[in-house]
Amino acid sequence: QVQLVESGGGSVQAGESLRLSCAVSGHFDSPVCMAWFRQAPGKKREGVASADSDGRPNVMNPVKGRFTIDLNKAKNTLDLQMSSLEPEDSAMYYCAAGVWSGGQCYRGLLVSDFGYWGQGTQVTVAS
């Protein structure tokens, strides 16, 4: 059984950095796309960044240039390095994995393309 467990969230000041990590346990029977999503209170869950099975990154425009995603296949982790954090980045951050279906990792990230989810880790950025 596959499990995704996030860590690294916390409360920071605007302009500071945080590194989130997602530990993956279990085994996927087929290639997957892995991603980070976030959800702020009252808002829809939105994709932040993804990495395909070769680790190629795809970072969404709202965070491009500030966030990077790193797939470490040896450690079975998916990290999200967040820099220059803004209050608008405050949200619950979720790690997700979706069975490979072609383009899901290379375009706008859809919640419906991901069937495995972690419990989330809270990020709060104060102004």
Token pair 């790690």 in the structure block, residue: 95
> What is the residue-level pLDDT of the chain in tens, covering all 127 positions?
899 999 999 999 999 999 999 999 998 888 899 999 999 999 999 999 999 999 999 999 999 999 999 999 999 999 999 999 999 999 999 999 999 887 889 888 999 999 999 999 999 999 9
- Give CA angle at 6 (73, 80), nearest 5°: 60
Q: Name the pairing type of β-strands 46-51 and 18-25.
A: unpaired
DSSP class of 54: T
Using CB atoms within 10 Å of the CB of residue 18, give its burial: 0 to 12 exposed, 13 to 18 middle, 19+ buried: buried
